[in-house]
Amino acid sequence: MDLQRTKAIAKKEFKHLLRDYRMLAILILFPVFLLIIFGYAINFDVKNIKIAVYDRDHSSLSRKFINSLSGTENFDLEGYIFNDSDIKHVLDEKKAQCVIVIPDDFSENVYNNVPAKIQFLIDGVDGNTATIVQNYVNLAALNFNREITAEIFSAYGIKSSIPLELEPIFWFNPELSSTKFLLPGLIGMILVIVCVVSVSISLVREKERGTIEQINVSPIKSTELLLGKITPYVALALLNATMIIIAGYILFGIEVKGSFLLLFFSSLIFLFSAASIGIFISVISESMQVAFSLATALSLLPSVILSGFIFPIESMPWIIQVFTNITPVKFFIVILRAIILRGVGLEAFWEQVIYMLLFAIIILTLANLINIKKEKSA
Amino acid sequence: MNSIEVNNLTKKFGSFTAVDNVSFNVKKGEIFGFLGANGAGKSTTIRMLCAILEPTSGDAIVGRYSINKQPDQVKKNIGYMSQRFSLYNDLTVEENINFFGGVYGLEESEFEERKKWVLKIANLEGKEKTLTSSLPGGIKQRLALGTAVIHKPEIVFLDEPTSGVDPISRRRFWDLIHELSSEGITVLVTTHYLEEAEYCNNIILINRGKIIAQGTSDELKKNYIKNTILQIECDKVIEALEILEKQNFVNEVSIFGNSIHIVVNDNYKNEEQIRNLLEKNHSINVFRIDSIVPTLEDVFIHVLEEDKENGSSKN
């Protein structure tokens, strides 16, 4: 390793980067753009569910039940329905996501100690939302039951008590905001794209323009070349990460709870593993066009689908879980969530750091083997 | 003293032999021309001598170092410039020079001096901040050569350095090569232009991976063509060519502009033989017939034809 040669490469690469102002603008603005899109547009929080009510009982009890629902921010009462055919109508036209049918014997049954039935018709097209709606409805019914029971007991002069009362408190993300959950994954995704695309393009450009020949005949070693080449892009990616963290704080109020130093070093290791993918792509592609397509496909898709960014890995079939290891974002997200949301230290994620290093070593070895084979046959 | 010694160098790609048992020596300070058609094995040989391609067998001493045993030492002591521009177009003149200075690890004071030298030979003094992409081809070539020898190597390899450059720039570029050679730098150059080969002290011609001719320009002309070459000036050149081809006193025919060169054998008697044939039998006007000293092109066409015949008789 000769530092002067590495420095010469890095310096030249910085010049390329700064001179290509269009590319630079994309590399800087793209992350901000993604953050805004993901931060505002993608929202898994289910609130203000539109409901319609078909109240056939018309009693004070049925109105009480309806009020207990529409009084929360979970439900918005869209209106009342007065006949059976309107139920289908309302659901078909998406005027409501959920229709509540209260039978005419509702209050009578309640007062006679016979279980009263309420029908909920939920629009099941979006399964995810439907499940959440169902949970909200269950919770509302549970609360209503408790109130009514207490009322009945007190009418007989008995002080009632509920044997079991759950009081869930959500640690780390008390308001269960999905932006908070998504931000670490977003950082991982953006960094991997920026790093893989820019590193592979910068290496393939030398191949395509023939300048690699000049580097090959010089005393530069391949480690010096690669280290010098990735330095500017790693720096750029770190700048991106800083921008996202600042924007996350300003726009979404997300604070980094853990150590910034730890965040910096683990990002550095992650970027090293991402750069190894870029190097691998540069070995197998001969033109910048091919490299760009491969780089975006190989960095973007796995980091969105397989990294646990949006879809939890634990609920994937085991064969897909094996495949999730093709992206280092998977490991980095665990680290980011640990540092940013939970504020914990290395003891919580040291394994992930090792996985990222292993990942880089495996990919670089593979790239090296292919390169040797190519040189022999070329 | 030899600057480069090549011993039985062979490179095989699978079953294809790109360079077949090649040996030659290059003296210090010499301009050595390396000629051959595309795919003849020139670039493969140069790549091996630059220690970026491992030979299948054989070895070469470049400078004082073996390409097999000391590739890193070889790389430090050579300069290389290829047919494709080896400069970065999106960087300025100065940034390109800085980069190569850094790559070859020049000390600050030495670097400043060499930078001035490169700017001077490329005629770019005061234009350090110009983008390389906006330079004319000839200037770019000189800058590329300058950066290739920024570390004062003992040997410089030039792989078709003048392809695609106008004749005047080419001439100036060759003046520069002579300058380097007079400073004791050994120059190994490949080229397609045969008039450039005349500028070389020594020439080898390679075909299908083998050396088929070598020597100085004069030696080649003397040793490889024993038969007389005639230059015929006439009208209807193509027609005349077709007729001459069929004659038993003619070995080879080729067109040079509006005249024909023929290599004649022992069946040839005198000029009248040709005049009779063309003017009387075919009514082609013959203006002049001269016996000429062969050009390098004649030599190469001759040896390549012979090599082709040897090759086909073997198959």
Cβ-defined contact of B82 to A214 (cutoff 8 Å): yes
User: Chain A: residue nearest B49 by CA?
Assistant: A217
Domain with CATH 3.40.1710.10 in chain A: 49-155
pLDDT digits (tens, 9 = 90+) for A309-326: 888 888 889 999 999 999
CATH architecture of A49-155: 3-Layer(aba) Sandwich (3.40)
Residue A332: strand, helix, or coil: helix
Distance CA B126, CA B139 (A): 14
pLDDT above 70 for B59: yes
Q: Which of A61-75, A286-300, B75-89 has the highest mean pLDDT?
A: A286-300
Among A364, A359, A363, residue whose Cα is nearest residue A331: A359
CATH number of the domain located at residue range(s) B2-216 in this protein: 3.40.50.300
Instruction: Determine the average pLDDT of the residues in B196-205.
Output: 90
CA–CA distance, B117 with B111 (Å, rounded to integer): 10
By 3-state DSSP, what share of chain B in percent is helix, strand and coil, each rounded to 5? 40, 30, 30
Tokens of residue B229, six digits: 């070459």
pLDDT at B314 over 50: no
Mutation pick from B12, B46, B81, B103 vs chain A, by most beta carbons of A within 10 Å, is: B103
Q: Which of A15, A209, A213 sits opposite B91 (nearest CB)?
A: A15
Q: Measured between beta carbons, which residues in chain A are less than 8 angstroms from residue B85?
A: 209-211
Is A172's pLDDT higher than 50? yes
* A284 within 8 A of A294, measured Cβ to Cβ: yes
Mean pLDDT across chain A: 87
Strand partners, A75: A49
Indicate yes or no: CB of A219 within 8 angstroms of CB of B104.
Answer: yes
**B226-293 has the same fold as B2-216:** no
Residue of B216 and A376 predicted with greater confidence: B216
Report the 3 state secondary structure along B57-104: EEEEEECCEECCCCHHHHHHCEEEECCCCCCCCCCEHHHHHHHHHHHC
How many interchain CB pairs under 8 A, A with B? 77
Given a contact cutoff of 8 angstroms between Cβ atoms, the answer to whether B153 and B98 are in contact is no
pLDDT digits (tens, 9 = 90+) for A324-349: 999 999 999 999 999 998 888 888 89
Tell me the nearest-neighbour CA distance from A23 into chain B, angstroms: 13
First to last CA, chain A: 27
* Residue whose structure tokens are 């064969």: A319
For β-strands A98-102 and A49-55, DSSP reports them as parallel
Region of poorest pLDDT, from A173-187, A284-298, B296-310: A173-187
- The label of the residue with tokens 């603005």 reads A29
Q: How far apart are CA B75 and CA B105, in angstroms?
A: 13
Measured between beta carbons, the chain B residues lying within 8 angstroms of A8 are: 98-99, 101-103
What is the mean pLDDT of the segment spanning B182-191?
92
Across the interface, do A11 and B102 touch by the CB < 8 Å criterion? yes
Question: Taking a C-beta distance cutoff of 8 angstroms, is the pair A244, A190 a contact?
Answer: yes
Which residues, at least 6 apart from A155, have a Cβ–Cβ distance to it below 8 Å? none
Strand partners, B204: B34, B214
Can you give the residue ranges of every domain in chain B? 2-216, 226-293
Question: What is the pLDDT, as a whole number, of residue B236?
Answer: 85
A22 at interface of B, judged by CB pairs closer than 8 A: no
Query: Which of A300, A237, A299, A248 has its CA nearest to residue A271?
Result: A237
- Comparing A164-178, A277-291, A313-327, A360-374, the range with the smallest average pLDDT is A164-178
With 60 as the cut, is the pLDDT of residue A114 above it? yes
pLDDT at A377 over 70: no
| Type of residue found at A75 | F
Query: What is the Cα–Cα distance from B93 to B193, expressed in whole angstroms?
Result: 28
Token match 């020596």: residue? B25
Element (H, E) at A285: none
The predicted pLDDT at position B315 comes to: 43
Nearest to A5 among B81, B82, B103 (CB): B103
Q: What is the pLDDT of residues A194-214, one digit of tens each?
A: 999 999 999 999 999 888 888
Residues B105, A215: C-beta atoms closer than 8 Å: no
In degrees rounded to 5, what are phi and psi of residue B192?
-100, -20
The CATH fold assigned to B226-293 is Alpha-Beta Plaits (3.30.70)
pLDDT given for residue A176 in this prediction:
61
Nearest chain B Cα distance for residue A20, angstroms: 8
Q: What is the mean pLDDT of residues A221-240?
A: 92
* Percentage of chain B modeled with pLDDT above 70: 98
Which residues does chain B have within 8 Å of residue A210's beta carbon, measured at their own beta carbons?
82, 84-86
**How far is CA A331 from each of CA A351, A355, A365, B145, rounded to the nearest angstrom?**
9, 7, 20, 48
User: Predicted confidence band at A175 (pLDDT cuts at 50, 70, 90)?
Assistant: low
A209 reaches B (C-beta below 8 A): yes
Q: A297 versus B308: which is more confidently predicted?
A: A297
